[in-house]
Amino acid sequence: MPSLSALVLLGASLVATTHAIGPDCVNGPLKSNKICDVKATPSQRAAALVAAMETQEKLNNLMSKSKGVPRLGLPAYNWWGEALHGVAGAPGINFTGQYSTATSFPMPLLMSAAFDDDLVHDIGNIIGNEARAFGNGGVAPVDYWTPDINPFRDPRWGRGSETPGEDITRIKGYTKSLLSGLEGDKAQRKIIATCKHYVGYDMESWGGTDRHHFDAKINVQDLAEYYMQPFQQCARDSKVGSFMCSYNAVNGVPTCADTYVLQTILRDHWNWTDSNNYITSDCEAVEDISLNHKYAKTNAEGTAMAFNAGMDNSCEYSGSSDIPGAWNQKLMNISIVDRALMRQYEGLVRAGYFDGAVATYAGLGVKDINTKEAQRLSLQVAAEGLVMLKNDKTLPLPLTVGAKVAMVGFWANDSSKLSGIYSGPAPYLHSPVYAGKQLSLNMAVASGPVLQNSSARDNWTTNALNAAQGSDYILYFGGLDTSAAAEGSDRNSISWPMAQVDLITKLAKLGKPLVVVVLGDMMDNSPLLSMKGVNSIVWANWPGQDGGSAVMQVLSGAMAVAGRLPITQYPANYTKLSMLDMNLRAGANSPGRTYRWFNAAVQPFGFGLHYTTFAARFGSGKGLTLNIQDLMHNCTKQYLDMCDIPALEVAVTNKGNATSDFVALAFIKGEAGPKPYPLKTLVSYARLREIAGSQTKVAALKLTLGSLARVDPSGNTVMYPGEYSLLLDEPTQAVLKLTITGKQTLLDEWPQPPSNATSYRR
């Protein structure tokens, strides 16, 4: 979705109530309408409101900047809220007065690197509390278009750090935990979360094609196994409040006009059928149907296609769909209009929008923004997510009071670089230099370059070398900022900018302990991994409001490092592969995508070093035999892939002295089912906390039938009997033989695309 620099007011016609959201159900014109009757069912309440509207009033409320109905006392409402990693700028949000800041957590990719779903839930709870507080204060809606859960398929994608990474198991775990925190566990929703961008959206602009024109060619197997799976978690399993259809087309059909995507799969197959579940377009995507995809002859026709296919709200800046034209030309009827309005307003009913002071979450307010708990969690997750990629025992550093430290690099003392995209104004932004001052370090500070610019005058090397020569330790804060890629732009290179490599090389030749802390999207670290004078490398992505403090706590050893890469670190020449190639499996023109199909990573998904040595083993070393039919016999789950399997017990021993967390990762590998076979697949994970020296801790890694299954070429999820291996850790520390017996069993039959949609075939 497009980010905006300008913030606009939620709507001038908000009516004053005990809480600033919603209509006045006590003294206003709607007080006698059933929409205000808290004892009526949500569907009855929404139906009463829609029935009271005249036709033109209905049409006025089918877009993100809904005009409301002044005649009825229904205020204007802007559906466009953002809260990717904290409440963020959007047309529906006004940062003002007591609502001028919001907690800014790290970008989702770094939070995902912690592999700590309990922590993700707690962060979702904080974001949900603050988002609802903004809504209760009348400066924001109660629906937010977050999270972004498209798999991070290609390292060049400008929005990849908005996501939890490349692996489906990790994305689903993160999404499940985040949504439960955002929306809450009550009958009413705290906020309405929105899973986006549905589906096949993971590029901005590359090779002359942009997201508004891109037609993603995806075969059924990849669609069902990979691109759709995070959204299955949202719809079928988490029952999220809303979805967003994406700009792109899939196999020739724009997603916002695709009945196969919006109806056959989302609503019919995944049973996302509650009458409060609404679908919004991405912003301006409705116009793309005719203007860019040429799927409709006119905007009116494209608008009607989207609403008829199941979209319920057109997100727009100022007006890009043609709802009046679609209506006047009789391209959509009143039942479609009413259906869309029912879904939208019942969604608001279920979020307590019409309930004033008696709404479940009406008590959330200014006191719930930037709490001590929010501050603690923002620091904790930033530290937990840091990933150490190289260390020759230089780290942790003895950063005692007065230690002479060179703080070099473009973000060493620039707090504006910490937050990444889709960030609201944070209550504070603590840079590494700020954190160094709290440690009473004797710092020499020098900036540095970001991107390569041959015309730029080198005004950094002399200052950097002077700072380093007078110090005992050199900390280099480099990498990328959002100028390298962001929404609307992808990267063409995943190499380190040579201006930075040249500076690091000169610093390395000084022979002093040199630690490189990498900001932003992942690059090919090969030059630094092989450079003798670079002692340690830590990846920090975008660490949020307390990012500098988190980094310095980890570098000093106050907190031990235990994060794992949630993405593959690809070699620089990977960019030879077309970014428009959506196929996952290796082929004549592709080396494969993600750790499951690509076998030449610089550093693989799941990699991460520690300040100590861990020995990890399976609780049972004798092998494991599971019978498919026995496992299914006692299963009471609605969906067979959700049937539980006995958990995998793992034991982790700290062989050193430093107390540290450890992320246990379990993968499966085998040659059963359709070829080609994945190199390995993550099936479960858990973060074990604070394992002291010589201590052993045990975890039970949860499994389901679906986690051990494969997807066939038709998209069906199938349990195949055969011999498998379970692999523990990255790199592998232990192997457990797994024998699956019984009859081959279909767990989920995938709906086949229309017969004329040939692009779904290989």
Tell me the pLDDT band of 454, cut-offs 50, 70 and 90. low
For CA atoms 14, 16, 20, 23, the dihedral sign is negative
How many whole angstroms separate alpha carbon 756 and alpha carbon 758? Answer: 6
Strands (E), 411-525: 442-446, 473-479, 514-519
Tell me the pLDDT band of 13, cut-offs 50, 70 and 90. very low
* Average pLDDT, rounded, for the chain: 95
Superfamily, domain 378-576: Glycoside hydrolase family 3 C-terminal domain (3.40.50.1700)
Q: Model-level pTM?
A: 0.96
Top-level CATH class of 614-748? Answer: mainly beta
On the question of pLDDT at 68 being above 80, the answer is yes
What type of residue sits at position 387? V
Task: For 544-585, write each residue's pLDDT tens digit.
Answer: 999 999 999 999 999 999 999 999 999 999 999 999 999 999
Nearest-10 crossing angle of helices 117-136, 168-183: 40
Return the closest-CA partner of residue 348 out of 18, 21, 94.
21
Predicted local distance difference test score (pLDDT) of residue 4: 40
On the question of pLDDT at 19 being above 90, the answer is no
Q: Which of 31-45, 541-555, 616-630 has the lowest mean pLDDT?
A: 616-630
- C-alpha 24: how far from chain center: 36
Predicted local distance difference test score (pLDDT) of residue 3: 46
Predicted local distance difference test score (pLDDT) of residue 693: 97
Determine the average pLDDT of the residues in 610-629. 94
Name residue, tokens 């620089």: 572
Could you say which DSSP state residue 107 is in? P
Task: For 164-217, write each residue's pLDDT tens digit.
Answer: 999 999 999 999 999 999 999 999 999 999 999 999 999 999 999 999 999 999
Cα radius of gyration rounded to whole Å, the chain: 26
Task: For 488-513, write each residue's pLDDT tens digit.
Answer: 999 999 999 999 999 999 999 999 99
The domain limits of the chain are 378-576, 614-748
Tell me the pLDDT band of 759, cut-offs 50, 70 and 90. low
Name residue, tokens 């629906």: 143
Fold agreement (378-576, 614-748): no
Question: Is 237 among the catalytic positions?
Answer: no
Return the closest-CA partner of residue 562 out of 375, 689, 452, 437.
689
Determine the average pLDDT of the residues in 669-681. 98
How many whole angstroms separate alpha carbon 200 and alpha carbon 581? Answer: 11
Structure tokens at 324: 């009046």
What type of residue sits at position 612? T
Bridge pairing between strands 696-704 and 644-654: antiparallel
On the question of pLDDT at 12 being above 60, the answer is no
Tell me the pLDDT band of 757, cut-offs 50, 70 and 90. low
Note whether 157 and 202 are within 8 A (CB). yes
Tell me the pLDDT band of 607, cut-offs 50, 70 and 90. very high
Q: Which of 24, 167, 258, 282 is catalytic?
A: 282
On the question of pLDDT at 142 being above 70, the answer is yes
Helices (H), 677-736: 705-708
Return the closest-CA partner of residue 295 out of 365, 214, 355.
214
Task: For 221-278, write each residue's pLDDT tens digit.
Answer: 999 999 999 999 999 999 999 999 999 999 999 999 999 999 999 999 999 999 999 9
Note whether 595 and 680 are within 8 A (CB). yes
Please state whether 138 falls in left (phi above 0), alpha (psi between -120 and 50) or beta. Answer: left
Predicted local distance difference test score (pLDDT) of residue 14: 33
Residues 6+ away with beta carbon under 8 Å from 197: 1, 148, 150, 244, 245, 246, 247, 282
What is the per-residue DSSP string for 675-715? SSPPS-EEEEEEEEEEE-TT-EEEEEEEEEHHHH-EE-TTS
How many whole angstroms separate alpha carbon 440 and alpha carbon 350? Answer: 51
Q: Residue 194 is inside which H or E element, if any?
A: strand 192-198
Q: Which of 188-202, 653-667, 745-759 has the lowest mean pLDDT?
A: 745-759
Could you say which DSSP state residue 225 is in? I
Q: Please tell me whether the peptide bond between 513 and the residue prior to it is cis, using omega within 30 degrees of 0.
A: no
The overall longest dimension of the chain from CA atoms, in Å, is 79
On the question of pLDDT at 127 being above 80, the answer is yes
Predicted local distance difference test score (pLDDT) of residue 2: 53
How many whole angstroms separate alpha carbon 340 and alpha carbon 486? Answer: 32
Q: Which of 48-62, 532-546, 590-604, 613-627 has the lowest mean pLDDT?
A: 613-627
Predicted local distance difference test score (pLDDT) of residue 421: 95
Note whether 83 and 141 are within 8 A (CB). no
Q: Please tell me whether the peptide bond between 676 and the residue prior to it is cis, using omega within 30 degrees of 0.
A: yes
Predicted local distance difference test score (pLDDT) of residue 700: 97
Determine the average pLDDT of the residues in 719-734. 98
Predicted local distance difference test score (pLDDT) of residue 672: 97
Residue 660, beta-bridge partner list: 691
Name residue, tokens 């450079």: 531
Neighbours of 549 (CB within 10 A): 25
Note whether 476 and 522 are within 8 A (CB). no
Structure tokens at 515: 């630690």
Return the closest-CA partner of residue 375 out of 102, 128, 96.
102
Please state whether 440 falls in left (phi above 0), alpha (psi between -120 and 50) or beta. Answer: left
How many whole angstroms separate alpha carbon 241 and alpha carbon 143? Answer: 9
Give Cα separations from 493 to 162, 170, 458, 537 (angstroms).
19, 26, 22, 20
Burial of 274 (0-12, 13-18, 19+ CB in 10 A): middle
Predicted local distance difference test score (pLDDT) of residue 6: 33
Neighbours of 12 (CB within 10 A): 7
Note whether 562 and 382 are within 8 A (CB). no
Residue 19, beta-bridge partner list: none
Nearest-10 crossing angle of helices 334-349, 299-309: 60
Determine the average pLDDT of the residues in 78-98. 97
Per the document, the length of the chain is 762
